[in-house]
Amino acid sequence: MCHYFARIPSFLHRSSHLLIFAVLFLVVTSVHAQKKRILIYTHNGKGYVHENIAASVAALTKLCTANKWAVESSDSPTVFTPENLKRFDCIIFSNTNNEGFDTEDQKAAFMAYTRAGGGFVGIHSASGSERKWPWFAAMLGGRFVRHPELQPFTIKVVDKKHQATKFLGDTWAWEDECYYTNNLNPDIHVLLAADLSTIKDDKKIEYPGQVFGDYFPLSWCHEFDGGRQFYTALGHKAEYYQDEKFLNHIKGGIEWVIKN
């Protein structure tokens, strides 16, 4: 009888370890089960509005769903409140342009979201958003200046190992508006660059001139003010949002931003 009771503490000891392990397993499983949440934002202020917005939202929604990321879309600046933004891991500015916000409170909410580690993905004319706000340009990585006419050109793959480019070769033959930007943040990590020797542009000598020699950054990523950001200047035409390589490019950018 005494030997039997002597075993009880050992049994309880093992049981407590099993219980702790089970609790930890449930906690870890719960964390991994939580879906990343993505907000697709498409607001345009006064000025040019791209015809690709509906196609971009449809494609991005499909992409997020396929990757098991929860997704919402909106063109209303009213979504920018501290409480609402806490729900998202990444905000995609898909072809936004000109004024992206209506109030200073909305801007403050977006800055707070970024400083709390919120992610950002900018597509095409997102670099033309909030052109008078220096913080936004620094966060995105640059500010749109102009582009020559839409045309085929060659893209140099600068980083061949990044999630947004690893499926490409040394170059990528593409047709688009080749965006030129200024106010480039010096901490950006360039992923893609336009080969300017393949661009027809009578005003090229005026800008970008010799800023980057024969190349100009088109896509990059960086970490700014607490958050992670990815930007691609590509994506003018609606049909591009059915192109597998282009969608993989965006997917890789999102994955990097949300650390997936």
CATH 1.10.3720.10 fits 34-257, yes or no: no
Summarised one tens digit per residue, pLDDT across range 40-84 is 999 999 989 999 999 999 999 999 999 999 999 999 999 999 999
Alpha-carbon distance 229 to 240, whole Å? 22
State the average pLDDT for the chain. Answer: 91
**What's the pLDDT score for residue 102?**
97
Residue 20, pLDDT score? 44
Cβ atoms of 38 and 71 within 8 Å: the answer is yes
Residues near 97 by beta carbon (within 8 Å), at least 6 away in sequence: 44, 45, 47, 48, 49, 50, 125, 126, 128, 129
195 DSSP β-pair partners: 215
Q: Say what the pLDDT of residue 238 is.
A: 98
> What's the confidence (pLDDT) of residue 33?
52
Sign of CA dihedral 208, 210, 216, 222: negative
Crossing angle (nearest 10°) for helices 53-66 and 244-257: 60
Residue segments in the chain with a per-residue pLDDT below the cut of 50:
1-9, 11-32
Quick one: pLDDT at residue 260? 87
How far apart CA 77 and CA 41 sit, in angstroms, is 9
- The percentage of the chain sitting over the pLDDT mark of 70, rounded to a whole number, equals 87
Instruction: Give the helix ranges, DSSP H, for 118-243.
Output: 134-140
